[in-house]
Amino acid sequence: MLSQALSALRNWHWKAALFSALIRCAIFFAVNVTSGWKAASGAAGAEFVYRFAASGYYGAMTQSLSRMQPAWKANLLAIVFLPIVQHAIEFAIHWLRGTPNLTASIGVSIAFTVFSTLFNLYSMRQGSLIVGKDARSIWHDIASFPRLAWNFLLLGPRMILRMQNR
């Protein structure tokens, strides 16, 4: 795990940084808009800065885990270990700056993390959303989202059907 963490520092994942910062910025804005435009903008801005800096690192960790076997172990590490660290820092940042709807903001962010991390692992295993060697353009990745999302959503039902047919 330590070697993966060091590798992640060297391989900052700009795609994860960009997508995560934009999406989480919108999440924090939407959750906090009931407290006023200024509060929502402040929460969104803080989240954008934190996520742009941190998600490049977490994305590199996720990409490293996408190559780990067995896949279920990588998935478990990715949705337990990484979110604990990410959201502890995120909570501290927003608590210190006084984000008004902190519990709801962090709750939505955690739910998004679990879903998006599993989606990113799946996508990376399909050769999309990766950086470095064998990476494709960001436009190729964006164009592949509908197919990837559809196949990702069908993973559970397909697994259930396979288990029933045994």
- In terms of pTM, does the model score above 0.85? no
Q: Which helix (H) or strand (E) holds 4?
A: helix 2-10
What contacts 135, CB < 8 A, 6 or more positions away?
none
Distances (CA, A) of 89 to 47, 55, 68, 82, 121: 11, 12, 26, 11, 22
Confidence of residue 126 (pLDDT cuts 50, 70, 90): very high
- Enumerate the domain spans of the chain: 2-164
Q: How far apart are CA 95 and CA 90, in angstroms?
A: 8
The structure tokens listed for 162 are 């396979």
- pLDDT, one tens digit per residue, over 93-116 is 999 989 998 999 999 999 998 888
Joined together, the tokens standing for residue 145 give 């989202």
